[in-house]
Amino acid sequence: MKKLFHHLLNIIYPRTCVSCETVLNASEKHLCVNCLYTLPKTDSHILPTDLIERKFWGKLNVKNTYSFLKFTKKGKVQKLLHALKYKNKPELAEYMGFWYGTELKALELEHRIDLITGVPLHKEKERIRGYNQANHLAKGLSEALKIPLDTEILKRNTFTESQTRRSSRFGRFKNIEGVFTVNDRSKVEGKRIALVDDVLTTGATLEVAGAALLESGCSEIYIITIASAY
Ligand SMILES: [Zn+2]
């Protein structure tokens, strides 16, 4: 009966692939089989590419950067990321995180990373969206990699308009300084932490979030993202 109900529901409201919008069959989840096999992977964990690594050169001391998919404007990956962020699909973020986690499993990162956390969103943004996609990606990764998750490590501060105006006099860097603060230093000190976000473009946000962790005594930073533009 339940099966029939789902079948009927699927006829009335067909579930579609988040990446190419073809109708999914009953066994497909979020992505169609074709997209599952053809999404452009970076394979940066097998063949490290400095096109990804160099985004942090001279800016943030990163132990390693892993990005799952190649991001191109108007491509399949952009569609996927859009769904993950704006279509109220926290479970898609967990699914993608878990999938990437299983691909990274061979690296045995559980021996090198102590905990995983997502880049925090502004509280107001999170309230409107209903969730922080980075934390859900981090949750999926944490489950697949068997590395503890702690989404409370970092806090993203909100600035009043006058504060933003005042600090903008000092240029971009000063402007983003103090955006993130560590909630509890004792949870960070001496820890090797993987910082997770959905997409790596300029790396500016990850850079300041990572810097806040290092300033609080974190010993190593790893960056893990679902996509990277390069
Ligand atoms: Zn598809």
pLDDT recorded at residue 34 = 95
pLDDT band at residue 158 using 50, 70 and 90 as cut-offs: confident
pLDDT recorded at residue 14 = 84
Torsion of Cα atoms, 13 then 87 then 93 then 181, to 10°:
-160
Ligand 1 is an ion; residues with CB less than 5 A from it: 17, 19-20, 32, 35
Measure 162 CA to ligand 1 centroid, in angstroms. Answer: 46
Which CATH class for the 39-229 domain?
Answer: alpha beta
pLDDT recorded at residue 53 = 86
Measure 91 CA to ligand 1 centroid, in angstroms. Answer: 17
pLDDT over 90 percentage in the chain: 71
Beta carbons of 188 and 182 less than 8 angstroms apart: yes
Measure 182 CA to ligand 1 centroid, in angstroms. Answer: 39
Measure 87 CA to ligand 1 centroid, in angstroms. Answer: 16
Measure 165 CA to ligand 1 centroid, in angstroms. Answer: 44
Measure 20 CA to ligand 1 centroid, in angstroms. Answer: 4
How far apart are the C-alpha atoms of 205 and 13, rounded to whole Å? Answer: 38
The pTM assigned to this predicted structure is 0.89
Q: What is the pLDDT of residues 46-96, one digit of tens each?
A: 988 888 889 999 999 999 999 999 998 889 999 999 999 998 899 999 999
**What ranges do the domains of the chain cover?**
1-38, 39-229
Measure 35 CA to ligand 1 centroid, in angstroms. Answer: 4
Measure 49 CA to ligand 1 centroid, in angstroms. Answer: 27
Residue labelled with tokens 């983003």: 176
Beta carbons of 125 and 148 less than 8 angstroms apart: no
pLDDT recorded at residue 172 = 45
Measure 18 CA to ligand 1 centroid, in angstroms. Answer: 7
Most confident of 94-108, 145-159, 173-187: 94-108
Q: Which amino acid is it at 166?
A: R
